[in-house]
């Protein structure tokens, strides 16, 4: 069995989406789904345009410049 090691970014996003938002912020399921969808759109952009494998992205890979490129 080959287990993939989760990156710091994957762990942070999992905690944010499934712990912080519903438990600490009290956001609705629909809001969390919207945030999750936006995150996946960003990850798709990183893979297709920046050639960063989504399962290897680390927190340090998320720069202001890359977010601005995504938003453009």
Is the pTM higher than 0.75?
A: yes
Three-state DSSP class for 30? Answer: helix
Residue 67 forms part of a structural domain: yes
Residue 58 forms part of a structural domain: yes
Model confidence at 3, pLDDT cuts 50, 70, 90, reads low
70, HSE (Cβ side, Cα atoms, 13 Å): 18
Q: If you write DSSP's letter for every residue of 14-26 in order, what string do you get?
A: HHIIIIIIIIIS-
Residue 27 domain boundaries: 8-71
Residue 37 forms part of a structural domain: yes
pLDDT in tens, 16-65: 998 998 888 888 999 999 999 999 999 999 999 999 998 899 999 999 99
Residue 40 forms part of a structural domain: yes
């Amino acid at each position: 069995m080959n287990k993939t090691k989760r990156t710091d970014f994957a762990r942070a996003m999992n905690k944010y989406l499934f712990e912080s938002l519903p438990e600490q912020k009290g956001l609705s399921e629909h809001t969390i789904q919207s945030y999750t969808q936006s995150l996946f759109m960003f990850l798709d952009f990183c893979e297709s345009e920046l050639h960063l494998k989504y399962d290897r992205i680390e927190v340090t890979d998320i720069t202001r410049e890359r977010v601005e490129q995504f938003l453009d």
